[in-house]
Amino acid sequence: MTQPTKHLLNTNSIRMKALRWEGPTGPAPVVLLHGLTSCAETWSLVAPLLAGERAVIALDLRGHGETDKPGHGYDQATVAADVAGALDALDVTEAGVVGHSWGGGVALRLAVDYPRLIRRLVLADGGIINRREGELTPERAEQMLAPIDIYQTIHTYFAEFRRTLNGYWTPEIEAIALAAIEHNPDGSVRERLEREHQKLILHANWTVDMASLYARVGCPTMVLPADNLTASPERREARKLQVAETARLLPDATVVWVPESVHDMQLHKPEVVAGHLSRHFAGL
């Protein structure tokens, strides 16, 4: 498997880690943004499949992985500015961008705020309108943070990670899972994203007016949701309505479902995801 080069970049008053898989220099590169509590390595199965066509860049977003973790700046606009600065440091003048989960919202904001930089956009089971936005209470935020507290050992962490993948597990996925955590002196493990920073992200994320952002997207967009195997039938039906509304509000959108997948489609179905991305970015 193709190995990336690691870069530490100064951007927007922080230091950001980037992984770059080299590819042909003619086409514009593709930038891959991870979800909440994850890291650049989550794209390690997809990126090599795209690198035969173009360079691929994956980033540790603010507060995650090896990127700096300041106590502020966790709104989508600031994180998007981090990404734009990192791409400038890499001499990238135009690119396609893929955002998974929370990274989808960051990618959306990046496309809105930097239209000359972002030529095509993919919202990978993220950045999709959710009618619960604006209803986040402190109690609800605490419930969403609860998974951080269950990782007592590396074994319980792996068990939870495996559960989210519907039991799917490989040595490569184990290595990716390890990249998102640190080991405590007592033998327990913790996510690299600090709890207080996750609270800031959740509160900022759930107050975004997605509909107003969609109207400002000027590039072709692929909405790439997972037909989530682990979700209830009611939740899957609700998701279909949310995806349809998102596509209706975007000026130039295509919807492609990833069937029989879990939320972390880049780990569960990397070949399928890479195929869809390759086709969407073919004209880039």
Classify residue 172: in a domain, yes or no. Answer: no
Are residues 96 and 281 in contact, defined by beta-carbon separation less than 8 angstroms? yes
- Is position 105 within any domain? yes
Residue 98 near residue 105 (C-beta atoms within 8 A): no
Identify whether 104 is part of a domain: yes
Q: For the beta carbon of residue 267, count every other beta carbon within 10 angstroms.
A: 27
Residue 270 lies in a domain: yes
The CA dihedral of 277, 97, 208, 267, to the nearest 10 degrees, is: 50
- In a domain, residue 195? The reply is no
Cα dihedral 260, 265, 268, 272 in deg (nearest 10): 80
Q: Does residue 130 surpass a pLDDT of 80? A: no
The number of beta carbons lying within 10 Å of the beta carbon of residue 146 is 8
The two tokens of residue 80 are 């998007």
Q: What is the mean pLDDT of the chain?
A: 92
Indicate yes or no: pTM above 0.75.
yes
Q: Is 157 inside a domain boundary?
A: no
Report the residue count for the chain: 284
CATH number at residue 52: 3.40.50.1820
- Render pLDDT for 201-234 as a digit per residue (tens, 0 to 9): 988 988 899 999 999 999 999 999 999 877 888 9
Number of domains in the chain: 1
Residue at 33 is within a domain: yes
Residue 34 lies in a domain: yes
Residue 246, domain extent? 5-131+208-280
Encode pLDDT of 67-118 as tens digits.
Answer: 999 999 999 999 999 999 999 999 999 999 999 999 999 999 999 999 999 9
